[in-house]
Structure 1
């Protein structure tokens, strides 16, 4: 009986690290953020701006649908709401492509873009599951100059959305 226990312990010791590396974890099923033009969380991840925990999980800015904050209401990512933090402003034209990088591909209801307190674009995916990247061409209309764009990815089968803010200068 003692030999069987030793064998089981040895097998467990060999398999545990393999399982730990191959089984999915909660944080690995992250979600998405805008990479281009660089969103605030992309700037944190790249080290362009010094940030807290968002540096290691730019794809995790998730909160209830309908919020207007860069942090998605997540107090752990509150520095994304700080407009005085020194965010890099990207020069863009009146019609600009925004690219999302998705680390988990959720069924999507809509993608929305806001600037100067108004919705400037919405794309309806009717519950479709997106690919690993999604690009939208957004027209700023008559808006110009420095703008903080709030981009929202509304998930179809939950009450949550993912949030990203992008600082741009529209010429």
Structure 2
């Protein structure tokens, strides 16, 4: 009877501590956020092992940095592989307009989505949504588009670069 009493006390203590552990432990990258999955962004290609990359292969949704950056890594040194244009990124063949589809692992309040080509903004979409069709403005050949998801209630954004072969 003594051992069952100790087990009951241990269970009760565990139940009492569990809410504290949940509050005290920080969130990990597993609860992170979003990326362009189609056409496959560089981080999607890393996650699919199409291209050999560093840590980003485990968390393609985590390319987060301050708003206003123009880098594929979002200024995050851990994901600097994404900034390396010499890697074997596989471009997706597209026409003059392309639909970018985002995959979200955690929702955030959205300010807007921006799309850049050669440093020039080629599209902006307000509000919610996970799919945006952008006109590429007459360019052809190999191109890199930077997609930015600007969060409304923080100073951060999520970044994704997509390699395209425009017909």
TM range, normalised to the smaller chain? 0.7 to 0.9
Aligned-partner Cα distance in 2 for 1:83–1:5: 61
Shift of 1:143: 1.6
Shift of 1:124: 1.4
1:159 counterpart = 2:161: no
Give ranges in structure 1 of 5+ residues lacking alignment: none
1:136 counterpart = 2:138: no
1:78 pairs, out of 77, 80, 91, with 80
**1:59-82, Cα deviation, whole Å (9 max, x unpaired):** 000000000000000000001000
Runs of 4+ in 1 over 3 A off after TM superposition: 2-7, 10-17
Shift of 1:157: 0.4
Shift of 1:15: 10
Secondary structure of 2:82 counterpart: helix
1:1-171 superposed matches below 5 A = 4-9=5-10, 25-125=27-127, 130=128, 134-171=130-167
Secondary structure of 1:55 counterpart: helix
CA RMSD of aligned residues (A): 2.5
Alpha-carbon spacing, 1:12–1:42, altered in 2? closer, same or farther (3 Å): farther
Aligned-partner Cα distance in 1 for 2:61–2:93: 23
Aligned-partner Cα distance in 2 for 1:105–1:46: 23
Secondary structure of 1:119 counterpart: strand
Aligned-partner Cα distance in 2 for 1:148–1:15: 52
Shift of 1:49: 0.5
Aligned-partner Cα distance in 1 for 2:153–2:123: 22
Q: TM-score, normalised by structure 1?
A: 0.84
**1:92-134, Cα deviation, whole Å (9 max, x unpaired):** 1101110000111111111000011211101111xxxx46xx0
Aligned-partner Cα distance in 2 for 1:89–1:15: 53
Secondary structure of 1:63 counterpart: strand
Give ranges in structure 2 of 5+ residues lacking alignment: none
Q: TM-score, normalised by structure 2?
A: 0.86
